[in-house]
Structure 1
Amino acid sequence: MTAAHPLNLPVRLRAFLHVFLDGPTPSAKTANYHVPGAFRAVVQRLQESLSRTERFEVATAVPSEAGAAGASSFLGASAASLAAREAFNPSLQLARQLKLKLEAEDPASVPRPYSNLMVSVHAVATFKALEDYLKARIGVVPAAASGAAAPAVPASAPDVAAPTTQFSVEFFIGGAPVSRDTTVFGAVYREEQRRRGEGMQPNIWSHVCTVKYRKKAVIERGLRVKLPYPTTLPSTLPADAPSTKILHLLRLLHGLNTRWSEVYTESQASAAGAGIPTRLATLPPSLFANSKLTAKMNRQLDEPLIVASHVLPRWTAAVSRDFSFLVPFETRLVYLQSTAFGYSRSMGRWQAGNGGSGAGGGTGGGGSNDGASPVGRLPRQKVRISRSRIIDSMVKVMELYGTTQALLEVEFFDEVGTGLGPTLEFYSEVCREVRRRGGVPAGGLAGSADDRVFVWRDDTEGAGGEDAKISADPAVAGFINPAMGLFPAPITKEVAASEKGRKILHLFKSLGTFVAKALLDSRIVDMPFSPIFLEMVVGEEEEEESAAERALGPVGRKRAELHLLRHVDPALHTSLLELQKYVVAKREIDSNKALSNAARLSRLAAIKVRDASIDDLCLDFTLPGHSTVELVPGGRDRAVTIDTVEDYVDAVVEMTVGEGVRRQVEAFRKGFDRVFPVEDLRSFSVQEMAILVGGSEDEDWSYETLMDSIKADHGYTSESRTIRSLATMMSTFIPAQRRGFLQFVTGSPKLPIGGFRALSPPLTVVRKNVEGGRKPDDYLPSVMTCVNYLKVPDYSEAGVMRKRFDVAVAEGQGCFHLS
């Protein structure tokens, strides 16, 4: 419909929120038209319609109609038996093999046996394994060659001979090139899909696929703020399908349900508006979840060959990213781990979940009893760093190893600890040091406060950014912990171009890689980022962003950014709203064309807010709390007047949440993208992203959960008095005590996603032996953080246990020695 509506969009949205969510009436003259329960009924009816109309197909690696023939001929087992085993344990699909016919494009360039041969290869192996297999055998063309058959290709083929020339191997299926990172299954599956048509289920097990290969000589030589209510449809869904239209409407309703407050920003400066309500009758997130699509998504992610080969149906990406509210957090997390974390992590997750070697173990040894052999072993990268130069070490480690798929393991110089414990402590120590109120050391620890850079906003009373240098003693200043989360301290264009600015941006880039690597390795980052900062880093689709820009317009954009400031610095936001009253009063006077110039100037001079004129405030064009940051050239010497107060408000907002932080956000995003694309996190809300990065703030420390999670061993059972006393003591900890206890036992102050039940290895408590002539009360508890192994003496009473733990937690941190 192209005709303009008589009411603008914000008015219509507020009317909708009034009728369905019990928002305020659009005006004082409007009657109350709220209909209780109407919104719930609409959403429920849409969910029912979606479940009836959606036709999303689940792709399977082994179609039922072809499973018997394929299984019998290639695995030598009965079809019924194989189907039953794979239904019980889908990871057995990883043991399946495909037969390929390898044909050399130029037979004369390779030994005769390899110009045309049949090979058996794991379906989940990549073409890199095929390349390694061939390169070790076709580097030299001998004068005579036998016609012996080639052996099976392992999932990761080792070199058996060094080729005499530098070359790579290119592969083609159906005339199309195949990437070396593609799995054999994925390439063959796509070719069958192309031949049969996307609507047909490919069957790749009943025939031999021809792969051509050839040798190839190797020659050596702006920031956007995410806005609510997306309106564009993903290209992966048919636009004319009824289910797509229902999804579109559900997404709009979900946006209004979760971010309704932003609808009222248009009227906050209007005297006629009803103001911003504090709460509406919103619906719980669970009502927007669709159980049928959740079951389908979980079923689809249970196909290891489909997942590992990146041939998931396109609807899975659309549901996970564009309609993420339809499926729960846990399902979307599995989707992220399966699609964004790389081949080795995907295989490790499957093997860990089905009794094989996993990402956590990383040993690659052993398989299941059903005959599935381990593939995609996860390597480990061990590094040794200096505890006294933790930030410099982090930057260097991220530069060298941040982008690798290897599981990072950290050791400290002059300490004996190794494995999980020191690694977790490395992450927690970096998070701690990067939040020092006195600044972060950049390129060396020695020197004055001028050698340090200020990374985050510090809105604590008495300390703020550059001004905090006057109290840069870490023992006094402590650490930054803003109520609204960590948000970049602003820098000007001139500072960004300086050596100091380059250090700040390089640190942000390293921190981006650090956070992404922690996600990849399932480590918790104890940095409470501002949700707005995370939202800026993730961004949104360019097309969606352009649509939002057009809908808002320049004036709406400024109001949206001012509204955004409320979530970064509430005190500054409140102050700017007071200054906006001067702007509104000035506009009213300027709009009165009947006033003479003298009368206009007189009325402008008389404008007061809370009995103060703008001149009484003695403001200049510097950023509040950051006296060295000038908003305009020479801003320190330029006073804010009634004629420039609007420019001042705009400049403060732009420096705080716009241009002043754009470079830091881009640097962080660039560092993150080195590990995996940050856009893959768009499946999650900012609150869920905070949980992904830093774990849940709402940890379950109840007695029942602790008793279920603690593994009592070697002298204790779950019924032992000491175990029960320990669980009782832990359940009474306040947040600070919880952090200290976890740091002491695990090396990290936060629990992983899933809480105590997700600790790997589980928290194990054993009895600490007592030497002759001494009592258990004389000993402190000790730990092996690498395996979450807590040694507790059999204390005589609970009071003694608490005292001993208080001493151990206080004195047992900051180093790793033999216990």
Structure 2
Amino acid sequence: ATSSGAYEKMLAELERQRTADRAATTTAADATSSGAGAGAAAGVTSMAVVEDEVPSMKEDGATESEQEEAPRPADLEELGHSTDPLAGVFLAGPDKTQEEPRAATALRLLILLHKRYSRPYNSVALTDPAVWINRRLTQKLEDQLRDPLAVVSRSLPVWCDVLLQQAHFLFPSWLRLRFVRLTGFGVSRAAHLLQSEYEHFPSRSTELARMLALLQRVRLRLPGSLAERVAPLLEDDSWTTSGGRSMPSIRIGALKHERCKVDRGRLLEEARRLFALHAARREVLEVSFQDEAGVGVGVTKEFYAEVAAALTRVDENQQCPIWMAPLDTSDGAEFIRPTEAHLGLFPVPLDPTKVPPALRNARAQRFRLLGRVLAKGFQDGHLVPLPLSLPFLSLAIFERPLELGDVELIHGSSLDLLRNIYRIHMHYLPLSTSRVDKEDSSPPTSPILEPLLPQDMDASTYLSYVDGDVDPVTNLAIEVPGGDQGLDLGRTGPFLAAVLRRWEACLEEPLECFRSGVADVLGSSWQRCLAALPVDELRRHMCGDTKDACAVDWSPDEVRRVVVPGFEYTAKSQQYMWLVEVLSGAPESPPAEAAVRSRLSAEERSQFLQFVTGCPVLPPGGLSHLSPKITVDRASRNSVGQLLLPTARTCTSCLRLPPYDSKSELLQKLLLAVENNSTFQLS
């Protein structure tokens, strides 16, 4: 498609649309006095056509929905109800024929190719995300997002929404995330992010000056107290000095912070009450624990990590079942943890007609809390380290039906049987008499493995022992043609499809509560906003990188870039170099004694991150993207000259490391500290 010039044709169509939109908007502005309203409906971001419109800013007394839910452009609303969202993005050719523009056809082809060749675990070479990125479209979208008035007034062109929803792979991940943060978290957070960028990039101050000049012209028409609030900024002439434009000394719409305390002993109940009160508010949430000294960002990260851990406790899941979990609990595990890296948590489907009302209400509250926690953490930039499965997020957030291969990605009981049936189905697919979706030619979402059958038993015999009309997870009846006769190789696909449809029916109410929790925080248009992120990318931004990021080889240079010496330590200090050696390299197995070990295990690395930063997982991108960096300060001896255990300040990611005499002593004391410090009492 690139060699045939499809991208260039698509860009030419986009430029033609923009020119036509500007001409139509200019005509409408001459005929009416509401030029900006017409410009927003046409998706135009020019400053000139919106000078007669007041920016989308609300006074203090407005409700939450009035503050953050700006109207969508009229043509985007029409596209939202269209069966083909791409239909209205491209204009017809110069001859005004009804034939679809070639750029739209090329884009549809790219979407199909991406769906076919970019699935996880696919062995085809076209899996590098950089292959799909278009440089010119990326630059065009970046220029659109640099226009502060277009972003704050919600007047971005329609193609921004449609292309990011339908063909997000054309843009790099950092730009997709920036689009979500500028368009999905409300006007106040968008203005705050833009002004923060201007402070770091003074060259963009001219764009802010243009916005301020517009505010100066419409200040007398600003509603309520908004005129008084912006008056100090408009009267400040420090940014128009003779030596050139500098940054204004006053910011518009500084984000407010709301602080609260919770009881660690009643964490889930306290979290439920907290988010029930705070979910609809736009302030940044800061949490601390009662009777503990810690405050700040690090403690808030600890709060989200503790809530995530509480949601996966075995005893909590037994009282209020929300996750599929192995039936065997004889190992004494405290938390539900997937046994393999590619597995994740998935809600347990329960028949709503057989669930007691009290349990049904408890499950609804738990799923709504889960949605609020994930959305608020994503909005405030905190990770919620839950090992969620991709099928769960795809079904819950994007409402995409479950696929047969999803059984390979779910952790839980009775999944071994379904995995074997799926593997048999894929291995003997040519013998299958029917396929669930004959029109769907996409590859499987997981690798095709060999079925684990008993010794000296073939696939047909194995399937004959399976009850073909009962879901093995919920033990509910399912409708499969010929299911009462047992399974055979020709009915494995319909059987799996019937099981997954049964799950979706049982989870309809809990997932609706989950979506309501997300909507409580992000507003009613949250699905349109999050559609710009692929499901695996969204999971990394919400839950962090998987704990496998702690199981890879950390190079010494990478550790030195992230863990830096601080007070009374230098890069040549012996204790600092020992710490780098302990953290770098491939992780060791935990059973070894600390006296003979030289490095941390993967689980101990996660505990170290929890100890120093407040979060046990790494951000998207792994160790190199950890921010802020970990600073190592030298700790002093106590009053009797003894060396204490290492301590940490999670607010600044600071590790206070005493000057130990040997590497083995450092490792032993560090392990003792990270494994037994569950509160901020000794920080």
TM-score (ref. length: structure 2): 0.70
Task: Please report how far the alpha carbon of residue 714 of structure 1 lies from its aligned counterpart in structure 2 after TM superposition.
Answer: 2.2
Kindly indicate whether the alpha-carbon contact (under 8 Å) linking 2:471 and 2:478 is maintained by their aligned counterparts in 1: no
Residue 495 (structure 2) pairs with residue 630 (structure 1): no
Give the distance between the partners of 2:608 and 2:418, measured in 1 at CA.
37
Per the alignment, residue 131 of structure 2 pairs with: 287
Instruction: Determine which of 203, 209, 217 is the counterpart of 2:48.
Output: 203
Kindly indicate whether the alpha-carbon contact (under 8 Å) linking 1:513 and 1:671 is maintained by their aligned counterparts in 2: yes
Distance change >3 Å, CA 192–CA 684, structure 1 → 2: closer
Per the alignment, residue 679 of structure 2 pairs with: 815
Task: Please report how far the alpha carbon of residue 55 of structure 1 lies from its aligned counterpart in structure 2 after TM superposition.
Answer: 3.7
Give the distance between the partners of 2:51 and 2:187, measured in 1 at CA.
26
Per the alignment, residue 350 of structure 1 pairs with: 194
Letter in 1 for 2:632: V
Per the alignment, residue 400 of structure 1 pairs with: 277
Task: Please report how far the alpha carbon of residue 501 of structure 1 lies from its aligned counterpart in structure 2 after TM superposition.
Answer: 1.8
Kindly indicate whether the alpha-carbon contact (under 8 Å) linking 1:538 and 1:679 is maintained by their aligned counterparts in 2: no
Distance change >3 Å, CA 644–CA 611, structure 1 → 2: closer
Residues 174-218 of structure 1 show CA distances to partners (whole Å, capped at 9, x for unaligned) of: 787xxxxxxxxxxx7446678xx877944269889899x9xx999
RMSD, aligned CA: 4.4
Distance change >3 Å, CA 58–CA 610, structure 1 → 2: closer
Give the distance between the partners of 1:766 and 1:652, measured in 2 at CA.
59
Per the alignment, residue 742 of structure 1 pairs with: 609
Residue 402 (structure 2) pairs with residue 525 (structure 1): no
Distance change >3 Å, CA 353–CA 281, structure 1 → 2: closer
Please give the residue correspondences for 1:228-627 in structure 2 after superposition, counting only pairs within 5 Å. 233=86, 235-238=88-91, 240-259=100-119, 279-355=123-199, 370-440=247-317, 452-458=319-325, 463-464=326-327, 471=329, 475-476=332-333, 478-481=335-338, 483=340, 484-496=343-355, 498-539=357-398, 561-568=403-410, 569=415, 571-575=417-421, 612=461, 617=465, 619=467, 623-625=471-473
Task: Please report how far the alpha carbon of residue 771 of structure 1 lies from its aligned counterpart in structure 2 after TM superposition.
Answer: 4.2
Kindly indicate whether the alpha-carbon contact (under 8 Å) linking 2:368 and 2:514 is maintained by their aligned counterparts in 1: yes
Distance change >3 Å, CA 782–CA 47, structure 1 → 2: farther
Residues 328-372 of structure 1 show CA distances to partners (whole Å, capped at 9, x for unaligned) of: 111100000000011222222233334489xxxxxx999996225
Give the distance between the partners of 1:475 and 1:202, measured in 2 at CA.
64
Task: Please report how far the alpha carbon of residue 724 of structure 1 lies from its aligned counterpart in structure 2 after TM superposition.
Answer: 2.8
Per the alignment, residue 49 of structure 1 pairs with: 8
**SS of equivalent residue, structure 2 residue 655:** strand
Distance change >3 Å, CA 193–CA 532, structure 1 → 2: closer
Give the distance between the partners of 1:286 and 1:581, measured in 2 at CA.
32
Per the alignment, residue 728 of structure 1 pairs with: 581
Instruction: Determine which of 653, 664, 682 is the counterpart of 2:499.
Output: 653
Give the distance between the partners of 1:436 and 1:237, measured in 2 at CA.
51
Task: Please report how far the alpha carbon of residue 531 of structure 1 lies from its aligned counterpart in structure 2 after TM superposition.
Answer: 0.8
Per the alignment, residue 788 of structure 1 pairs with: 653
The structure with the greater share of residues assigned to strand is: 1
Distance change >3 Å, CA 244–CA 385, structure 1 → 2: same
Kindly indicate whether the alpha-carbon contact (under 8 Å) linking 1:562 and 1:573 is maintained by their aligned counterparts in 2: no
Distance change >3 Å, CA 312–CA 289, structure 1 → 2: same
Number of residue pairs matched by the alignment = 551
Task: Please report how far the alpha carbon of residue 747 of structure 1 lies from its aligned counterpart in structure 2 after TM superposition.
Answer: 1.2
Letter in 1 for 2:107: L
Task: Please report how far the alpha carbon of residue 291 of structure 1 lies from its aligned counterpart in structure 2 after TM superposition.
Answer: 1.0
**SS of equivalent residue, structure 1 residue 658:** helix
Per the alignment, residue 672 of structure 1 pairs with: 518
Task: Please report how far the alpha carbon of residue 519 of structure 1 lies from its aligned counterpart in structure 2 after TM superposition.
Answer: 0.4
Moved more, 250-259 or 740-749: 250-259
Residue 505 (structure 2) pairs with residue 662 (structure 1): no
Kindly indicate whether the alpha-carbon contact (under 8 Å) linking 1:46 and 1:246 is maintained by their aligned counterparts in 2: no
Gap regions ≥5 residues in structure 2: 23-30, 64-82, 93-99, 202-229, 240-245, 435-456, 586-599
Kindly indicate whether the alpha-carbon contact (under 8 Å) linking 2:468 and 2:485 is maintained by their aligned counterparts in 1: no
Distance change >3 Å, CA 801–CA 311, structure 1 → 2: same
Residues 288-337 of structure 1 show CA distances to partners (whole Å, capped at 9, x for unaligned) of: 11111112222222222321221112222223221111111111000000
Distance change >3 Å, CA 752–CA 578, structure 1 → 2: closer
Per the alignment, residue 765 of structure 1 pairs with: 632
Letter in 1 for 2:337: I
Kindly indicate whether the alpha-carbon contact (under 8 Å) linking 1:47 and 1:290 is maintained by their aligned counterparts in 2: no
Give the distance between the partners of 2:658 and 2:425, measured in 1 at CA.
63
Gap regions ≥5 residues in structure 1: 1-41, 64-172, 177-187, 219-229, 262-277, 358-363, 441-448, 546-556, 589-607, 634-638
Moved more, 301-310 or 567-576: 567-576
Task: Please report how far the alpha carbon of residue 48 of structure 1 lies from its aligned counterpart in structure 2 after TM superposition.
Answer: 5.0
**SS of equivalent residue, structure 1 residue 765:** strand
- Give the greater-gyration-radius structure (CA): 1
Letter in 1 for 2:148: P
Instruction: Determine which of 785, 799, 812 is the counterpart of 2:664.
Output: 799
Task: Please report how far the alpha carbon of residue 581 of structure 1 lies from its aligned counterpart in structure 2 after TM superposition.
Answer: 12
Give the distance between the partners of 1:736 and 1:581, measured in 2 at CA.
36
Kindly indicate whether the alpha-carbon contact (under 8 Å) linking 1:780 and 1:804 is maintained by their aligned counterparts in 2: yes
Residues 748-786 of structure 1 show CA distances to partners (whole Å, capped at 9, x for unaligned) of: 1012335556555432221112246525xx221111112
Per the alignment, residue 752 of structure 1 pairs with: 619
Give the distance between the partners of 2:535 and 2:53, measured in 1 at CA.
47
Task: Please report how far the alpha carbon of residue 721 of structure 1 lies from its aligned counterpart in structure 2 after TM superposition.
Answer: 3.2
Please give the residue correspondences for 1:122-271 in structure 2 after superposition, counting only pairs within 5 Å. 189-190=36-37, 201-203=46-48, 233=86, 235-238=88-91, 240-259=100-119
**SS of equivalent residue, structure 2 residue 350:** coil
Task: Please report how far the alpha carbon of residue 567 of structure 1 lies from its aligned counterpart in structure 2 after TM superposition.
Answer: 3.9
Kindly indicate whether the alpha-carbon contact (under 8 Å) linking 2:471 and 2:499 is maintained by their aligned counterparts in 1: no
Kindly indicate whether the alpha-carbon contact (under 8 Å) linking 2:468 and 2:487 is maintained by their aligned counterparts in 1: no
